[in-house]
Chains A and B, each alone.
Chain A
Amino acid sequence: MKPPTDFAPAAPGVQPRADPRVDAIDARGIGLASPSDPVARSLYEIRQAIHPRAVRGWFAAWRWTLVWATQLVFYGAAWIEWSGRQAVLFDLVNRKFYIFGLVLWPQDFIYLTALLVISALSLFLFTAVAGRLWCGYACPQTVYTEIFLWIENRIEGDRNQRMKLDRSPLTARKFGLKAAKHATWGAIGLWTGFTFVGYFTPIRELLAESATLSLGPWETFWVFFYGFATYGNAGWMREQVCKYMCPYARFQSAMFDRDTLVIAYDAERGEPRGSRSKGADPGSLGLGSCVDCGICVQVCPTGIDIRNGLQYECIGCAACIDGCDQVMEKVGYPKGLIRYATTNAVEQHLTRAQMFVRSFRPRVLAYSALLWVVIAAVGASLWMRVPLKVDVIRDRAAISREVAGGYIENVYRLQIMNTAEKDRRFLVRVEGLPAAVLAGDASFSLAGASTDMATVKVRTRAGDLPAGTHKVRFVVEAEDDAHVVVDEKSVFIVR
């Protein structure tokens, strides 16, 4: 048998070789050296275009459901209005994040941390239970690749037609098809970039500006940047993003164990693989269930052969499960030669029930518990959030001064942030130090979602307090709602 040519991906159905390691490497398309003469080989491979065959089935339907769900939210949410403003708007210039009724200020940054912690714990949990669910169904890279592949399929045809088209010389027809494809991709990319920028600058204004070609330089840059990134990643880079760039792809293996659901090929049942005539009894031919049709390889978006076992390139999209199940149905074998199963389930012949029971193992329970604790804490914190923030800043150089009438006075600046979208009047009082009283008026009116600085003076009669530092609290309360109250600590200094 002749060795495969340089870097060519192994053709589906290559016979197993003696050294399985060599075989595994060969299957990944890196190539073998020729037996006798030394040959110079590049340590970098030329990427072979992958033309995944379109696949339908249970898992493909799930993926499309998630494509629709995520894209409806992404393209749609920017257009929703909420009490006179964009419902979801991350106003970086004015440092306010609007999410429906919620207005987050820079001081609420902790919620972003919480969101990231929740995302990370969810990723750990889902990965420990069922592998790369995120990668296979919800990751933007997967979602946009799926959309772009669908367009490619509609314009150029399925796998075989695309491969033929790629090999054919450039004709007017080929040029037309390619131009139509790239134009459609480009349009989707630009709309994606536009929508993305629309979350940071009001999208309706953005649309009006685009219509009159009066976008600002940065808006233009980001629209085109994200547009190009979408086009490039989903149209050209595809599986390379997962294989070479994505850090999650690599560290998710740390969350895997032998009871994690993965896309598993049941080698015991499938091997030895081989084609057979219809209706032949595989047992008498000495064959397993795998008819070696190669569908599982053809549908794979990362171009691997799942029959070589779990590989880091596998994004867990289950396209091969859908493909193989259809073939099994056609040839009249039971489904599930390739299926979601755990390593232990395949090796120890566990039933589905036994396999799922093992989902309740300590690491999964620990991830779940942590996740719920964090979610509950964030929920409670958001529920009890007071739409008022106060910072008390003591005057630093002018520590303590004598004023007419025999008083000792300290000066404070109160930074009052009315984070509700409603005009309010706030009353300030001093507590915790009976000898100290506020001098002068201490009520301040603030417009909704605005911040203001108020200077207040606190005084005590000279001699009432010993020299030194005394704890004092400023209580700022909304005039119309006693629940909107903030209690801030500071000190009163006498010298």
Chain B
Amino acid sequence: MSQFTSAFWDFYIAILTIISIVACGVLLKMQSVRKVTDGKAVTTGHTWDGDLGEYNNPLPRWWMWLFYITIAFGLVYLYLYPGLGSYKGSLGWTQLGQLDEEIAAAEKEYGPIFQKFTGQDVAALAADPAARAVGQKLFLNHCAQCHASDAGGSKGFPNLSDRDWLYGGTPETIKASITEGRNGIMPPFGPALGEQGTKDVAHYVMSLSGLTSDSLRRARGREIFAQSCVACHGPQGKGNPALGAPNLTDQTWLYGSGEPTIIETISQGRNNQMPAHKALLNEAKIHLLTGYVFGLSQPPPKAK
């Protein structure tokens, strides 16, 4: 049924459009000439309010031809481009086609800028000021929204400028993080440990990085930690980069080092997502970004 009606509306619009354009031409032709008599001045023939006429203030004739040219242009346009119902136009132009052409043109123009860096390894990129300048622009466009302009991160968004890495700081792991994204999950332990148990573990965790903690709770927490936490964070709490489990013994805290924050992390868990960028950035750009991010935590190149 809908197929019948859709065909009808196509024709309806196409015919209406053509009739309108032709009617414009007919109207123009009819209104170009007036018959007059009696030695009266030529008026346009329109009368308003009973007796208000309008003297003919003629446009030049070439102006009239502009109107006809407009009509011809409209018909030619509708023949070449889509516009009449579902008629595709003889040129086969589409918006998507134009977009593809523009993307291809941009790729041709800007591609070489990125391509010339793809051959270099990440450590070389990190030391190359030209690569870093391009990398910084990419970083500001795609990464700084979460990781901050200086890559120092924020609560829940890792600091990329320090030596501490959740998933490892090698070029390969950095590139994997950007390309595929990461999903860091800490399961909630609140229901299993109970309020006191959670607090005990929290104090043990605080003690791992030298924060002040309650000795009694610390001792109890140590036992719970050995049962519930070692699987991911390891027996010494040093973490596991393969899982993205953070090292609990250093001074880096993704969500904050206060007791309430640590309790919240343990009891409610954390589910943190770094989106995959492979669909947004091509390989050459990801390679440059990897170089930039890798370089952030490298010692600055020695002045020669």
Q: Is B a genuine binding partner of A?
A: yes
With both beta carbons as reference points, the residue of chain A lying nearest to B39 in the complex is identified as A35
For B33, what are the chain A residues with a Cβ–Cβ distance below 8 Å? 40-43
For A32, what are the chain B residues with a Cβ–Cβ distance below 8 Å? 39-42
> CA of A403 to CA of B254 in the docked complex: distance in angstroms?
10
| A27-76 residues at the B interface, CB under 8 angstroms | 30-47
For B157, what are the chain A residues with a Cβ–Cβ distance below 8 Å? 397-398
Knowing A43-B31, A401-B155, A411-B150 are in contact, say whether A30-B58 is a contact too (CB < 8 A): yes
Knowing A47-B61, A395-B144, A403-B152 are in contact, say whether A39-B36 is a contact too (CB < 8 A): yes
> CA of A47 to CA of B65 in the docked complex: distance in angstroms?
13
Q: Is A244 an interface residue (CB 8 A)?
A: yes
Q: Is A114 an interface residue (CB 8 A)?
A: no
> CA of A40 to CA of B63 in the docked complex: distance in angstroms?
19
For B155, what are the chain A residues with a Cβ–Cβ distance below 8 Å? 401-402
B44, B55, B62, B146: the one contacting A398 at CB < 8 Å is: B146
Knowing A43-B33, A44-B58, A44-B63 are in contact, say whether A397-B146 is a contact too (CB < 8 A): yes
Expressed in whole angstroms, the minimum distance between the Cβ of B136 and any Cβ of chain A is 8
* Contact call B37/A33, Cβ cutoff below 8 A: yes
Expressed in whole angstroms, the minimum distance between the Cβ of B167 and any Cβ of chain A is 20
* Contact call A45/B60, Cβ cutoff below 8 A: yes
Q: Is A445 an interface residue (CB 8 A)?
A: no
For A398, what are the chain B residues with a Cβ–Cβ distance below 8 Å? 146-148, 152-154, 157
Q: How large is the interface on A (under 10, 10 to 19, 20 to 34, 35 or more residues)?
A: 35 or more
Expressed in whole angstroms, the minimum distance between the Cβ of A413 and any Cβ of chain B is 5
Q: Is A457 an interface residue (CB 8 A)?
A: yes
For A42, what are the chain B residues with a Cβ–Cβ distance below 8 Å? 32-33, 58, 61
Knowing A244-B59, A244-B60 are in contact, say whether A43-B32 is a contact too (CB < 8 A): yes
* Contact call B61/A395, Cβ cutoff below 8 A: no
Expressed in whole angstroms, the minimum distance between the Cβ of B84 and any Cβ of chain A is 31
Q: Is A450 an interface residue (CB 8 A)?
A: no
Q: Is B115 an interface residue (CB 8 A)?
A: no
A41, A404, A411: the one contacting B148 at CB < 8 Å is: A411
- A169-186 near B? 1/0 per residue, CB < 8 Å: 000000000000000000
* Contact call B149/A46, Cβ cutoff below 8 A: no
> CA of A371 to CA of B62 in the docked complex: distance in angstroms?
40
Q: Is A409 an interface residue (CB 8 A)?
A: yes
Knowing A44-B32, A395-B144 are in contact, say whether A413-B149 is a contact too (CB < 8 A): yes
Knowing A38-B37, A402-B155 are in contact, say whether A44-B149 is a contact too (CB < 8 A): no
* Contact call A395/B41, Cβ cutoff below 8 A: no
| B54-76 residues at the A interface, CB under 8 angstroms | 55-56, 58-64
* Contact call B38/A47, Cβ cutoff below 8 A: no
Knowing A38-B37, A244-B59, A398-B154 are in contact, say whether A43-B44 is a contact too (CB < 8 A): yes
Expressed in whole angstroms, the minimum distance between the Cβ of B95 and any Cβ of chain A is 24
With both beta carbons as reference points, the residue of chain B lying nearest to A243 in the complex is identified as B60
Tally chain B residues at the interface, Cβ within 8 Å. Answer: 40
Q: Is A21 an interface residue (CB 8 A)?
A: yes
For B94, what are the chain A residues with a Cβ–Cβ distance below 8 Å? none
B38, B62, B145, B153: the one contacting A35 at CB < 8 Å is: B38
A3, A39, A397, A453: the one contacting B154 at CB < 8 Å is: A397
> CA of A411 to CA of B143 in the docked complex: distance in angstroms?
14
For A47, what are the chain B residues with a Cβ–Cβ distance below 8 Å? 60-62
> CA of A94 to CA of B41 in the docked complex: distance in angstroms?
59
> CA of A283 to CA of B8 in the docked complex: distance in angstroms?
83
Expressed in whole angstroms, the minimum distance between the Cβ of A243 and any Cβ of chain B is 8
For A36, what are the chain B residues with a Cβ–Cβ distance below 8 Å? 37-38
For A35, what are the chain B residues with a Cβ–Cβ distance below 8 Å? 38-39
For A404, what are the chain B residues with a Cβ–Cβ distance below 8 Å? 251-252
A30, A46, A413: the one contacting B56 at CB < 8 Å is: A30
B36, B37, B60: the one contacting A44 at CB < 8 Å is: B60
For B83, what are the chain A residues with a Cβ–Cβ distance below 8 Å? none
Q: Is B108 an interface residue (CB 8 A)?
A: no
* Contact call B145/A396, Cβ cutoff below 8 A: yes
Knowing A32-B41, A34-B39 are in contact, say whether A402-B256 is a contact too (CB < 8 A): yes
Q: Is A240 an interface residue (CB 8 A)?
A: yes
Q: Is B116 an interface residue (CB 8 A)?
A: no
- B155-189 near A? 1/0 per residue, CB < 8 Å: 10100000000000000000000000000000000
Q: Is A22 an interface residue (CB 8 A)?
A: yes
Expressed in whole angstroms, the minimum distance between the Cβ of A131 and any Cβ of chain B is 21
> CA of A35 to CA of B37 in the docked complex: distance in angstroms?
6
List residues of chain A with CB under 8 Å of any chain B CB. 3, 19, 21-22, 25-26, 30-47, 240, 244, 395-404, 409, 411-413, 453, 455, 457
Give 18 pairs: A residue, B residue, CB < 8 Å, sorted on A: A3-B39, A32-B39, A32-B41, A35-B38, A39-B35, A42-B58, A43-B32, A43-B33, A44-B32, A44-B59, A44-B61, A244-B63, A395-B144, A397-B146, A398-B157, A400-B154, A404-B251, A455-B149
List residues of chain B with CB under 8 Å of any chain A CB. 31-42, 44, 55-56, 58-64, 140, 144-150, 152-155, 157, 251-253, 256-257
Q: 8 additional contacts, CB 8 Å, given A397-B148, A453-B140?
A: A3-B39, A32-B41, A33-B38, A395-B148, A401-B153, A401-B155, A402-B253, A413-B149
